[in-house]
Amino acid sequence: MEFKKNIPIYLQIVDKLKQDISLKILTPGEKLMSTREMSVKLKVNPNTVSRVYKELELENIVFTKRGMGTFIIEDEAILQNIKQKTTNDIMIKFIHDMRNLNISPKEAIMMLKEMKEEQWKI
């Protein structure tokens, strides 16, 4: 994972984990890597990963079982909410990018409609 300089690293990791949950790369009830494992994998300080997990706990996205690890919640309503927020964030970025390219909303919609159906398949 490459980090942007203008956004705190822990927030970038939080967003990435939320995205992975939305995309079902990480699934409800799944155990996350330990703080140490995650810090080694991402090449960040273990305190950064601890902060990530605390932030996700505050948002009721994960829970920690002492001595067992940190797990993704299994509440479908919360998981659906995460997916909706992730989708909104992607759409806001898309709109911003279209504005930067001087592409009107009408043109952007037309471009989306013209995309091949295969590009929409997962």
Provide the pLDDT for residue 78.
86
Kindly state the tokens that stand for 61.
């996205």
Q: What is the pTM for the complete model shown?
A: 0.74
CB burial readout 84-107, b (16+ within 10 A) else e:
eebeeeeeeeeeeebeeeeeeeee
Q: Is residue 67 part of a domain?
A: yes
**Which residue range is the domain that position 13 belongs to?**
9-74
Judgement on whether residues 34 and 56 belong to the same structural domain of the protein: yes
How many domains does one find in the chain?
2
Judgement on whether residues 14 and 69 belong to the same structural domain of the protein: yes
Q: Is residue 2 part of a domain?
A: no
Q: What is the pLDDT of residues 52-77, one digit of tens each?
A: 999 999 999 999 999 999 999 998 88
Q: Is residue 3 part of a domain?
A: no
Judgement on whether residues 42 and 83 belong to the same structural domain of the protein: no
Q: How would you classify residue 15: left for phi > 0, otherwise alpha for psi between -120 and 50, otherwise beta?
A: alpha
The C-alpha atoms of residue 19 and residue 45 are separated, in whole angstroms, by 22
Q: What is the pLDDT of residues 4-56, one digit of tens each?
A: 999 999 999 999 999 999 888 999 999 999 999 999 999 999 999 999 999 99
Q: Is residue 91 part of a domain?
A: yes
**CA 92 to centroid of chain Cα atoms:** 15
